[in-house]
Structures are given as structure tokens and as C-alpha cells.
Amino acid sequence: MDQKRKNNLKKKIFIKTFGCQMNEYDSNRILDITKKINYFPTKKKAEADCYIINTCHIREKATEKVFHDVGRVKKEYKNKKKPILIITGCVAQAEGDLILKKDNYVDAVIGPQSYQSINKIIRDIENKKTQHNITNFETVKKFDELKLINNNNSKVSSFLTIQEGCDKFCKFCVVPYTRGSEYSRNFEDVLNEADELISKGTREIILLGQNVNAYNDKNNKRLSDIIYSLQKKKDLLRIRYYTSHPKDMTKDLIEAHKECSKLMPLLHLPVQSGSDKILKEMNRKHNIKEYLKTINILKEKNSRIEFASDFIIAYPGEKQEDFNQTYNLMEKVKFINSYSFIFSPRPGTPASDMKRVDEKLAKKRLIIFQKLAENIKMNYKKKLVNKIAKVLFENKMTKEKDKYFGRDEYQNPVIVCSKKNITGQEKKVLIKKFSQNTIYGELISSDNFLAA
Ligand code: SAM
Ligand code: SF4
Ligand code: F3S
């Protein structure tokens, strides 16, 4: 078959995604791009002509995991035609050379700021079968090209990346090295993409960035400007943003939490530690007094607001009293959701050479902390029972008849029964009971409801 005919054949592409929401956004955008060369998404990984592993480098064993996954692909395709195998994401950026050198089954590594050129790379691989290492930081070019390609990933709740990269250089973190320096997309481009998503059915937009509240485009538009503009969009019901840095919680953004009814009353504001000494060691650029002040002002502006946070336990140099301060902060703020991990040394970061806390002690501290976090979460959920929550329904559950899945304003997963299709609608729900991860309720504003 001649090349032109071959290029016109429909092919299948599968992406396995690890890491943060930005990686999810990127995976979806890669699928938008590859449609242009007739590669269409499949959920069946064993039938893919092109197999992509979109990787995360944030914690330990990330590179080993990639080799593990490559091994799995090899096994899966042992008796079939080899797929084009591409590693994208933050491990590709940080360890691209090593990956290509160690395993020639991998056809290409592409960093998070260069995936706009994936079609050319796939075509090159189809034709010449050479290995590619594309890890330039081409953020501006990437977004300039992406805006020309429709975002076909509209769901009831959709991600929209508005900012990338980081200039803060916390000593433990790989992000400044894998995603490059801070870059804010053009304000108008962001709103155009939002319009596109809303016109296709999106009712909630989650604005994304490694430091989303550092957003500042070339005309000095800030995150609050985007929020105020989205507030005016008729068919949009909800706005969220993450992840934010405490230092970038500016007055205008705090004010938006009072003024914008569509901005959800849950703020993910990673603190990392409750000890000023450790925060300084981490190069976090904020202290606990400032952090608590921000939280208090936000509460004054909007009394319904609740907080979620990230914690690193057993950072190098963490003494018992530092850990106690983190524990006390958790007790004081009562974060309704938290993500806590033991410090993981990342290659190339300043903290990677520092003396680590004894492993057993680190694990003990993590268990103690997570127990407290879980108790706080459960007590919070208990208080929700018999109360009314506003839930945006995202989809009908596939395995259970007449059950719909949605999230309340605090992003808690909620399940109800309904004979009517309520996908995409915001409904009032009476909360009846909860499990560790889910809340069950009854619709109260529908003329056709059943008990969950
Ligand atoms: N920009 C956000 C901020 O300033 O908090 C965080 C983004 S980072 C992708 C997500 C979370 O990963 C961090 O909040 C931190 O808790 C965790 N993390 C990053 N590096 C880590 C490391 N070396 N060990 C353990 N956790 C880490
Ligand atoms: Fe990493 Fe966030 Fe620190 Fe940037 S601000 S270096 S993304 S933890
Ligand atoms: Fe992971 Fe990169 Fe996101 S390291 S957390 S995929 S920015």
C-alpha cells in the first residue's frame, strides 16, 4: 500500500495517564491532536497502534514504574504487531535520555511542553522507525498551536489549563525542572476554550495550573479576572481552581470568593508543613502566621468556605516538635480533605541530598497524621447527614441501575437514584448516609426520585 493510503487508514491510540490533573488535561489534548492524523482513542490497550504512557515524576520510583510499564506493553504485544510506544509527561522530561538508552522498544520521549509536535513524531516513526527525544521547553508554541485545535473533551466537569510551570523552586519539588518556568496563557484564549467547553455541555470548569493563582498574562490579567468573566457565562454553573500557592492568594482573588457565587466554597491550599522552621528549609516562601491569616480572611469574606491541603511528612530535619506543629495545624484548621506523603527525594532537587528522617519514624508519623486527617474528614461528613447539599450530576453509573454520580459544592462524591436523566443538572439532595469515600442521598427537587 502506498504511503498516502496508509496515512488515511483509521488507527487506534491508547493513553495511560499518571499524576496530576494537568497530565489528564494533556492526555486529552494529545488525543485531540492525533485525530488529525487518523489516530482515534481506544479504551482497549491491547489493540492500540500507538501506545502512550503519560508519566508523573513527583514521588519515588517514577522511572522504575515507567520501565515496568514498558515491560508490560512488551508482554501484551508479544504475539502482535509492535505498537508505536511513546513516553510523555514529567518522567520523559527528566529522564528521557535514560529511557531511550535503556530500552529501544520505546520509540520516543516527549516532554510536557512539546507534545504539540506529536503528529510529526508519529509519522516519522511510522516511516523511519528512529528514536526521538523531544524535551524542549516550547510552552508558548504549544499553547499557540493548541488553540487552533478544538478541545473535544467536554464533560459536565472539565479541566482547563491556564498556567504552567513554576518559578518557586521548593527544595523538594521536581516541577520547575519538568514543566519549566511559569507561563500564563493568553486571557482571551482561555475564555475561548471555556466557551467551547460550555457550548459542548460543560457545567463546571476546573482551572488548572501548577501555581494556578500565579496566573498573570501579558496584559496583566489575573486569575480573578478569569473567574469574574466565567461567572457571567449563562450555562456555566460552577468554577474551581487548583493548585494554588499560599503566597499568591492576592486580595482580588480573595474578594472573588465573596463576589462570585459560581466559585465553589472549597479551596485547595497546600501548606506542606505546620512548622515555620521546615517551611523555611523547604523554601516555601510563606509561614504559618501568614497562612492562617489568609484562611481567616477568606472565612470572613465567605463563611461557607472549607479548605483542603497537601502535607509532606518527615521532610529532612523534621524533629518531633515540627511534626507536632503540623499535627496541631491539622487539628486547628480541620481540613476537610488532605493529601499527605512521606518526603521523597527527587533526583536533581536540592533536598535530595539532605539527611532523611529515619524510615520507621517517618512511617509512624504519617500513620498518626493520616489517622487524625481521616477522623476530621469523617466527623465533617457525619455533620452532613440530614442536611441538604447542592449536587452537580456528572454521569449515570454504568453498573448500577438508575443511579447517578455527582459532586457537592465541596467536591464530595454523591450518589442518588433517579428515573430521569439528571446528568449535567445541579439538584438539591438530602444526605442520608456516607461511607469512607461516598455520600448517599435522595433528590428533593425532582418529581421522580427513589431512595439511594
Ligand atoms: N504547586 C503546589 C504547591 O505549591 O503546593 C503543589 C504542586 S505538586 C505537583 C503537588 C504536591 O506534591 C505538593 O503539594 C507536595 O505535597 C507533593 N510533593 C511534591 N514533591 C514531593 C516530594 N519530593 N515528596 C513528597 N511529596 C511531594
Ligand atoms: Fe513544586 Fe508547588 Fe513548590 Fe512549585 S510551588 S516548586 S510546583 S511545590
Ligand atoms: Fe506529576 Fe508532573 Fe503533575 S511531576 S504531579 S505530572 S506536574
Q: How many CB atoms lie within 10 A of CB 53?
A: 24
* Most ligand 3 atoms within 8 A of CB, residue of 23, 30, 177 to mutate: 23
Minimum-distance ligand to the CA of 63? 3
pLDDT confidence tier of residue 450, bands split at 50, 70 and 90? very low
Examine the pLDDT at 8 and tell me if it is beyond 50. Answer: yes
Examine the pLDDT at 418 and tell me if it is beyond 60. Answer: yes
**Angle formed by the axes of helices 223-231 and 187-199, nearest 10°:** 30
Fold agreement (3-138, 150-264):
no
Residue nearest atom 7 of ligand 3, based on CA coordinates: 175
Q: Residue 152: CB partners within 8 Å, gap ≥ 6?
A: 28, 31, 32, 35, 200
CATH of domain 150-264: 3.30.750.210
Examine the pLDDT at 378 and tell me if it is beyond 70. Answer: yes
pLDDT at 449: 43
Q: Residue 56: CB partners within 8 Å, gap ≥ 6?
A: 18, 19, 20, 23, 62, 89, 90, 91
Cβ atoms of residues 247 and 287 within 8 Å: no
- Phi and psi at 149, nearest 5°, equal -115, 125
Q: Is the CB of 91 under 6 A from ligand 3?
A: no
Q: Is the CB of 23 under 6 A from ligand 1?
A: no
Between CA 187 and CA 54, with CA 167 as vertex, the angle to 5 degrees is 75
Matching CATH number, 3-138, of 3.30.300.20, 3.40.50.12160, 3.40.640.10, 3.40.50.300 = 3.40.50.12160
Q: Ligand 3 centroid to 355 CA: how many Å?
A: 24
Q: Is the CB of 56 under 6 A from ligand 3?
A: yes
pLDDT at 61: 85
Q: Ligand 3 centroid to 116 CA: how many Å?
A: 18
* Most ligand 1 atoms within 8 A of CB, residue of 173, 339, 366 to mutate: 173
Matching CATH number, 388-443, of 2.40.30.10, 3.20.20.150, 1.10.10.10, 2.40.50.140 = 2.40.50.140
Task: Output the average pLDDT for the chain.
Answer: 93
Give the residue among 239, 241, 294, 234 at the shortest CA–CA distance from 261: 239
Per-residue pLDDT tens over the stretch 100-122: 999 999 999 999 999 999 999 99
If you average pLDDT over residues 137-153, what whole number do you get? 87
CA 181 to chain centre: 18
The domain spans of the chain are 3-138, 150-264, 388-443
Q: Is the CB of 272 under 6 A from ligand 1?
A: yes
Per-residue pLDDT tens over the stretch 326-373: 999 999 999 999 999 999 999 999 999 999 999 999 999 999 999 999
Examine the pLDDT at 446 and tell me if it is beyond 60. Answer: no
Q: How many CB atoms lie within 10 A of CB 12?
A: 18
Q: Ligand 1, residue 272: give the atom nearest the CA.
A: 16
Q: Is the CB of 168 under 6 A from ligand 2?
A: yes
pLDDT at 153: 86
Starting at the edge strand that comes first in sequence, how are the strands of the sheet with 238-242 ordered?
A: 157-161, 204-208, 238-242
- What is the 8-class DSSP label of residue 67? H
